[in-house]
A and B are shown apart, each in its own frame.
Chain A
Amino acid sequence: MIARVVAGLVVLAVGGSAAGGGPPHRAPPSGTISGKVTYTGTLPKLRQIDMSKEPNCVTQHPTPVMTQDAVTGPANSVRYVVVYISAGDQGAPAATDTVHYDQKGCLYIPHVAAMQVHQPLAIFNDDPHSHNIHPLARVNAEWNKSQPKGAPPIRTSWDQPEFIPVKCNVHPWMHGYFVVLATPHSAVTDSTGEFSLAGLPPGKYTVTAWHERFGTQNQEVTIGGSETKTANFVLTARPY
Chain B
Amino acid sequence: MGKLFAVVVTVIALVSAAIFAFHVWWLPPDISTHGVRIDRQMNETMVVAGALFVLGQLALAGFVWRFSAGERGAPRPVKSFPGGPTPLVVLATVLVGIEILVLTFVGSKVWADVYQTPPAPGALQIEVLGEQFAFYFRYAGADGKFGAMHPEMMNDATENFFGLDPANDTTARDDIVVGSLVIPINQPVVLEMHAKDVNHSFYVPELRIQQDFVPGLVIPLHFTATTPGKYELVCTQLCGLGHYNMRAFVEVKTQPDFAQWLKEKAAAL
A residues sitting closer than 8 Å to B (CB atoms) are: 44-45, 47-53, 67, 69, 130, 132, 144, 146, 165, 167, 169-173, 175, 212, 239-240
Contacts and interface: CB of A to CB of B under 8 A. Distances in A.
B218 to A, nearest CB: 21
| Most chain A beta-carbon contacts within 10 A, residue among B156, B157, B158 | B157
B159 A146 contact: no
Given A47-B159, A53-B134, 14 more contacts: A48-B268, A50-B180, A53-B180, A53-B248, A67-B158, A69-B157, A169-B242, A170-B134, A171-B134, A172-B156, A172-B161, A173-B159, A212-B157, A239-B167
B158 A172 contact: no
Contacts of A45: 269
Interface in B247-269: 247-249, 268-269
Interface of B: 131-135, 156-159, 161, 165-167, 177-180, 240-242, 245-249, 268-269
A232 B191 CA distance: 50
Nearest to B157: A175
A59 B50 CA distance: 45
Main secondary structure of the interface of B (DSSP, over half): loop
A69 B248 contact: no
A170 B242 CA distance: 6
A175 B156 contact: yes
B156 A167 contact: yes
A226 to B, nearest CB: 41
B241 A169 contact: yes
Given A167-B156, A172-B134, A239-B167, A51 B245 contact: no
Given A53-B179, A132-B242, A171-B134, A240 B156 contact: no
B133 A169 contact: yes
Contacts, number: 63
Contacts of A169: 132-133, 240-242
Contacts of B156: 167, 172-173, 175
8 contacts: A44-B158, A50-B178, A52-B178, A53-B179, A132-B242, A169-B132, A169-B241, A170-B245
A17 B186 CA distance: 91
| Most chain B beta-carbon contacts within 10 A, residue among A44, A175, A240 | A240
A67 B157 CA distance: 7
A172 to B, nearest CB: 4
B58 to A, nearest CB: 46
| Most chain B beta-carbon contacts within 10 A, residue among A52, A144, A167 | A52
A212 B158 CA distance: 11
A55 to B, nearest CB: 9
A51 B246 CA distance: 13
9 tightest A-B CB contacts, nearest first: A240-B167, A50-B179, A175-B157, A170-B242, A170-B245, A47-B159, A172-B156, A52-B180, A169-B242
A118 to B, nearest CB: 27
A173 B135 CA distance: 12
Contacts of B158: 44, 47, 67, 69
B257 to A, nearest CB: 16
A172 B177 CA distance: 14
Contacts of B178: 50, 52
A10 to B, nearest CB: 60
Contacts of A240: 165-167
Nearest to B196: A172
| Most chain A beta-carbon contacts within 10 A, residue among B131, B133, B247 | B133
Contacts of B249: 52-53
Contacts of A51: 179
Contacts of B240: 169
A212 B157 CA distance: 10
A144 B248 contact: no
Contacts of B135: 53
A210 to B, nearest CB: 15
B159 A170 contact: no
A173 B160 CA distance: 10
